[in-house]
Structure 1
Amino acid sequence: MRYLAPTYFFDYTSQPIRELVAEFREGSRSEKEMAVGLYTRVRDNWKYDPYRISLEKADFRASRIAGQASGNCVEKSILLIAGLRALGIPARLHLGKVKNHLAAERLKEKFGSDELTPHGMVNACIDGKWLKMSPAFNRELCEKFDVEPLEFDGENDSYLQAFDSEGRLFMEYLEDYGHFEDVPLDFMINNLKAHYPHIFDTDKNKSVYRL
């Protein structure tokens, strides 16, 4: 299946990704057990950071992301996909546009909008069933915003935290761009420039923006 192949971005034959999944190869774990364990590791061991935007191709390689302390939703999804493929679990990138209702003021300050795009999540085929999961928000961040962290049980979709613990709107999906076999870098860059043109106006030679 093509969703198992290594690519430039999903470079799961690299040492960092082999180390990431080594624990889950041990014993006789099921696909579900491996997927749940890896999902939780990627969710919590890399802090969510939506404010770093890169246009550099190499920054979207799973092996490079593995060496960072944090990542945005697309980067963390790439890392999880590479790990899942390394474990023999078909996985692909799913992109869309979302609206964040709780961190709206800071997002508007940085991006000029409370809409985040492209937002990344993961589709994985576990025991013959395609499931959605989003490893973006680490547990520590969820506790800060009084939102239950997204748990993945290997049997059901887990990609949307619609409300916080008090019933206030948190995340809302606005557009679905579909799924991709590999990282569609040109599409993502064009999407960023279309939605946040002011970010790129100040210095056209910069390839990494830390807002």
Structure 2
Amino acid sequence: MSVQAVNADLSHADLLKPTEFLDHDSDAVRDFVREALPDGGQGMTDVERACALYYAVRDGIHYEVYGADLSRDGLKASSTIERGLGFCVHKSIVYAAAVRAVGIPSRIYYGDVRNHLASPRLEELMGGNVFTYHSLTSVFLGGKWVRATPVFNKVLCKLYRIRPLDFDGRNDSMYHPYDEEGRRHMEFLREHGEFDDVPYDRVVDGIRTNHPGLFASRHTTARGSLVADAQGDPS
């Protein structure tokens, strides 16, 4: 299936299929879903399944911008699960694949954001505080599309003094505009759209073009640690 924007009027059946990146027919994704949903989620509603999988992705896969694999293989949901870490682009793919595995249609969202709380090192590598192709997931629940952001895990949020984003399956879960101390955190600037699968060249080339300093090689971001950044460790 070719990658299409949502205005292509794809059916919900199309938005349940495994794709190159949302490979929920893989053992890694199946095992991840099985662990998150005891007894396969029997007796649970779609909303309950979607929420359980949201927290499994948010807190079960560490959020890390540094040392990220942006190759085609590295962006597959199965690859991120096996590595156990990734940033918004990776984690949104995992969530989209996981909910499709239990019969919930999903799409991938991309947009540009301004992060007012990025560390000095990350801002230097990114060339400022505007991050392009930030990603989250749209899921179809209760007869409507809702947006979910299973990105910053609880441990990282605590270090950065950001309230973790919850998801109730009924309302959009996107970055709060302020952190726990009232400082500006995430500001959405521009939408690139929602897609049935990852528009790989558009996303990766877009990130590389706008943030060349972030890359250590063509498909790998610079070495480092967001935990170390939060603790003020220059190494």
TM-score bracket, normalised by the shorter chain, equals: over 0.9
Q: 4+ residue runs of structure 1 moved beyond 3 angstroms?
A: 52-55, 197-200
CA contact (8 A) 2:126 2:212 kept: no
Residue in structure 1 matching 2:94, options 79, 92, 98: 79
Residue in structure 2 matching 1:19, options 15, 31, 38: 31
Deviates more, 1:50-59 or 1:114-123: 50-59
2:175 corresponds to 1:160: yes
Give the Cα separation in 2 of the matches to 1:8 and 1:157.
26
The residue correspondences of 1:196-211 to structure 2 (distance < 5 A) are 196-199=211-214, 206-211=218-223
Change (3 A) 1:144 1:159: same
1:183 matched residue in structure 2: 198
Secondary structure class of the residue paired with 1:130: strand
CA contact (8 A) 2:74 2:80 kept: yes
1:61 matched residue in structure 2: 76
CA contact (8 A) 2:133 2:206 kept: yes
CA contact (8 A) 2:15 2:106 kept: yes
CA contact (8 A) 2:96 2:108 kept: yes
1:136 matched residue in structure 2: 151
**Pairwise CA distance, 1:55:** 4.0
Change (3 A) 1:117 1:53: farther
CA distances 1:125-181 after superposition (whole Å, capped 9, x unpaired): 012110001111001111111111000001100112210112110111111111011
Structure 1: unaligned runs, 5 residues or longer: none
CA contact (8 A) 2:125 2:211 kept: no
Structure 2: unaligned runs, 5 residues or longer: 1-11, 224-235
Residue in structure 2 matching 1:120, options 135, 140, 147: 135
Give the Cα separation in 1 of the matches to 2:63 and 2:18.
25
**Pairwise CA distance, 1:198:** 4.3
1:32 matched residue in structure 2: 47
Change (3 A) 1:30 1:101: same
**Pairwise CA distance, 1:75:** 0.1
Counterpart AA for 2:76: R
Equivalent pairs counted in the alignment come to 208
Secondary structure class of the residue paired with 1:175: strand
1:8 matched residue in structure 2: 20
Give the Cα separation in 2 of the matches to 1:190 and 1:82.
23
Q: TM-score, normalised by structure 1?
A: 0.92
Give the Cα separation in 2 of the matches to 1:14 and 1:125.
22
**Pairwise CA distance, 1:104:** 4.3
CA contact (8 A) 2:214 2:222 kept: no
Give the Cα separation in 1 of the matches to 2:202 and 2:68.
14
Query: What value does the CA root-mean-square deviation take over the aligned residues?
Result: 1.6
CA distances 1:14-48 after superposition (whole Å, capped 9, x unpaired): 11111111142232110000000000110011111
Percent identity of the aligned residues? Answer: 37
Change (3 A) 1:128 1:106: same
Secondary structure class of the residue paired with 1:52: coil
Secondary structure class of the residue paired with 1:58: coil
